[in-house]
A and B are shown apart, each in its own frame.
Chain A
Amino acid sequence: MVEAARRVLSVRDLVVDFVQDTGTIRALDGVSLDLHAGRVLGVVGESGCGKSLTARAVLRLVDRPGRIVSGKVLLDPGAPAQQELTALDPEGEAIRAVRGGRIGLIFQEPMSALSMHYTVGNQIIEAIRAHSGLGKSAARQRAIELLQEVGIPRPETRIDAYPFQLSGGLRQRVGIALALAADPEILIADEPTTALDVTTQAQILALLRRLQRTKGMALMLITHDMGVIAQMADDVAVMYLGKVVEFAPVQQLFAAPRHPYTRALLRSVPNIRAVPRERLATIGGAVPHPESRPTGCAFHPRCPEIIAGRCALEMPPPLPPDQEGASCFHVMPKMMVDA
């Protein structure tokens, strides 16, 4: 069970649809998550399972034809100043103060957060001033400090560089500095190292961990790499087809995964310590498109532990938020006893 760290963000039963002329795609199907101050929540799953969409929905960045159908996103849940982000105007002043203010965002491709036409300094200074009352020169001083903090050598000169003059690794560091500009309490990092080389990835992960610990931030780290999860996360949410199918502390997840999907996923990761020419465990088939979501448990067509006559018809009950467990008929009974 998660220890009593302060909850800073709650996502409850979030449902997101994409309405297209070929039909409606339910891309998120009741996602519930909690972020705690000073903890790292790893969100893992294969392509298209809704990881990025969850992050975008939290920040109200779901573009048309996407639409949040139901569910809540609460900032500071339970506190007197609780804010319901899902109730805000997605273009309004209030959500913009949260975006890049209380919640920092780091993208897979740092260029999507940076503009080609302004220097790195301009962009960071602008972000600092948008969320604080600092004057120009104070903001510049702060920007140099930030660049220093994210490990950019010679920040006084690099501050006047344009993003395209920097390498991929340095750009991602700038992206992180930008996300930190307003001293956020929550950082959402969507595959921050997927586009980077392993050695650069190791550097960026070390940086993220250091920043998160020293500032006591809540970090939501989205990735499809189980290695990154093992190295970074405190708690892990495993997603499959728009649902959280398992939630557990990281040690628990790797030592005794509960959901058949998690188990299979862990076994299919190529291991750097494997016996050469060893076959990997596989999951049959591929992730279905959310357009043709299987009935019952969405994993049933690929599940090696399927219960005949049940899994294909009935939906396993969803996970109660913030409790470890898995949404699977094999697991639920035990959970019920626990509760």
Chain B
Amino acid sequence: MTVLEVERLSKSFPIKSGLLQRETGRVRAVQDVSFSIARGETLALVGESGCGKTTVARCILRALPPSSGAIRFSPQEGTTIDLAPLSRSALRPIRRHIQMIFQDPYASLNPRMMVGDIIAEPLLVAGVPLAKRQARVRELLELVGLPPAARTRFPHAFSGGQRQRIGIARALALDPTLVVADEPVSALDVSVQAQIINLLLDLQDRLGLSMLFVAHDLGVVRHVSDRVAVMYVGRIVEVAPTIALYARPRHPYTEALLAAVPKPDPMLRDAAAAPRGEVADPANPPPGCAFHPRCPHAVDRCRVELPELREVAPGNFSACHRAEELTLVGVA
């Protein structure tokens, strides 16, 4: 069963300049993005800085109004709501079903509230009575591996990793149908990052969470996701099950990304060939396939015709004109 179905989602921001702040152009941060997430599934959204991952996440959470497209969400079996056109007040009752885990463990907790109150806030807002709230907070603290005494402390007494656990507990408070995590481990040290990744894996298993996992680290993504969507300059260029995508990428950009990751093995040196050029500017993307100036496989067609995302193998979608004919290299 599908929990979330995003269809042709687009979001653009005005570029303002000059004294009068007149609009002089638009950044097309997200363009025609479509994907779906099944119940209990984790879909990772990866790509380089500025490709629009956070914008997609915020549109789904409706912290931003999308410019166009549909965001069909099924809080329960049989009901589907399009979140895209909803007003602020119409959204409020639905909010509890989609929760977010933030990147910055310091900025995401109110420094003036006790941890117990932070975790209980969604419950309080949803009208859960006090006794139930307290019991639930205790349960949640245990779930994320914090001692019950944490309730009466303030966030400053916790390390980055512990704060991230608090943020996760808050996101899970109301048993959300979908959790959107925007780079939840990027700000953490390696040793703490591993703890949080393991926690997320445990929670996926225990609670059957459905998750949209935004990340830029392909190593982290490999550990936590069932499927991966790769974005480049506002568009999804490839979607595939995790193992398939890593083993045999179907888009030259995915291949380049995998090749660029520095492998933690000194025996595998100099194998990585970095792609040439720079990530394109979303305010002024190249015509045709946005990756063509950097693509070693580009042909004339790529410079003029925009490749559509299409199924090139069962379950594998790619937006490359030459997806079928190319044999791209992944990692074992």
- A–B contact with Cβ pairs below 8 Å: the answer is yes
Interface of B is mostly: helix
Assess whether B257 is in contact with A199, with CB atoms less than 8 Å apart: yes
- CA gap between A231 and B224 in the complex, in Å: 25
Query: Within 8 Å of chain B (Cβ to Cβ): is A227?
Result: yes
Interface residues of A in 259-309 (CB under 8 A from B): 264-266, 268-274, 276-283, 286-287, 302
B192 CB within 8 Å of chain A: yes
Taking a contact as CB atoms under 8 Å apart, the answer to whether B262 and A205 are in contact is yes
Cα distance A170–B269 in the bound complex, in angstroms: 24
Q: How many A-B residue pairs have CB under 8 A?
A: 145
Q: State the CA gap A292–B190 with chains docked (Å).
A: 21
B264 engages A254 (CB within 8 Å): yes
B261 contacts A272, C-beta separation under 8 Å: yes
A199 touches B48 (CB 8 A): yes
A101 to B288, CA, bound (A): 47
Q: Establish whether residues A199 and B197, one from each chain, have CB atoms under 8 Å apart when the complex forms.
A: no
Q: Does A256 contact B (CB under 8 A)?
A: no
**Quick check: is A12 within 8 A (CB to CB) of the other chain?**
no
CA distance A193 to B312 in the complex (A): 35
B279 near A197 (CB under 8 angstroms)?
yes
Interface residues of B in 184-208 (CB under 8 A from A): 189-195, 197-198, 201
- B256→A199 contact, CB < 8 A: yes
Q: Give per-residue flags for A150-175: 1 if the beta carbon is below 8 A from chain B beta carbons, else 0.
A: 00000000000000000111100000
CA distance A57 to B194 in the complex (A): 31
A203 to B267, CA, bound (A): 19
Q: Which of A167, A205, A268, A279 contacts B201 (CB 8 A)?
A: A279
Q: How large is the interface on A (under 10, 10 to 19, 20 to 34, 35 or more residues)?
A: 35 or more
Does A198 lie at the interface of the complex (its beta carbon under 8 Å from any beta carbon of B)?
A: yes
Q: Which chain B residue lies CB-closest to A270?
A: B219
Q: Is the CB of A277 within 8 A of B223?
A: yes
Q: Is the CB of B216 within 8 A of A271?
A: no
Cα(A263)–Cα(B241), bound, Å? 31
Whether, in the assembled complex, A225 has its beta carbon less than 8 Å from a beta carbon of chain B, the answer is yes
**Which positions 149-190 of chain B face chain A at CB distance < 8 Å?**
159-162, 189-190
Contact check, B197 vs A286: say whether CB atoms are below 8 A apart. no
- Chain B residue at minimal CB-CB distance from A278: B223
Q: How far is the CB of B303 from chain A (nearest CB, A)?
A: 19
Q: Is the CB of A202 within 8 A of B272?
A: yes
Give which listed residue, B225, B264, B279, contacts A269 with CB less than 8 A. B264
Flag whether A201 is at the interface (Cβ < 8 A): yes
> What does the 1/0 interface line of A205-226 toward B look like (CB < 8 Å)?
1100000000000000000111
* Shortest beta-carbon distance from A324 to chain B in Å: 15
| Residue A187 CB within 8 A of the other chain | no
Residue A200 CB within 8 A of the other chain = yes
CB distance from B165 to the nearest CB of A (A): 11
Nearest Cβ on chain A to B193's Cβ, whole angstroms: 7
Is A228 among interface residues, defined by CB-CB distance under 8 A?
yes
> CB distance A266 to B264 under 8 Å?
yes
Inter-chain CA distance A279–B196, complex, in Å, is: 10
Question: Are the CB atoms of A46 and B274 closer together than 8 Å?
Answer: no
Given A272-B218, A277-B223, A280-B197, A202 and B260 contact (CB-CB distance below 8 Å) = yes
Which residue from A47, A203, A231 sits with its C-beta under 8 Å from B262?
Answer: A231
Q: For residue A205, which residue of chain B has the nearest CB? A: B262
Contact flags (1/0) for B242-271 with A, using CB distance below 8 Å? 110010000000001111111111111100
Which A positions have Cβ atoms within 8 angstroms of B? 46-47, 167-170, 197-203, 205-206, 224-231, 233, 250-251, 254, 264-266, 268-274, 276-283, 286-287, 302
B residues adjacent to A (C-beta < 8 A): 48-49, 159-162, 189-195, 197-198, 201, 216-220, 222-226, 242-243, 246, 256-269, 272, 274-276, 278-279, 331-332
Top 10 A-B pairs, shortest CB-CB distance: A227-B262, A202-B274, A270-B219, A268-B194, A197-B48, A202-B260, A280-B194, A283-B191, A46-B189, A286-B159
14 contacts between A and B (CB under 8 A): A197-B279, A199-B48, A199-B260, A202-B274, A268-B191, A270-B222, A272-B222, A272-B263, A276-B225, A279-B201, A280-B197, A283-B194, A286-B189, A302-B191
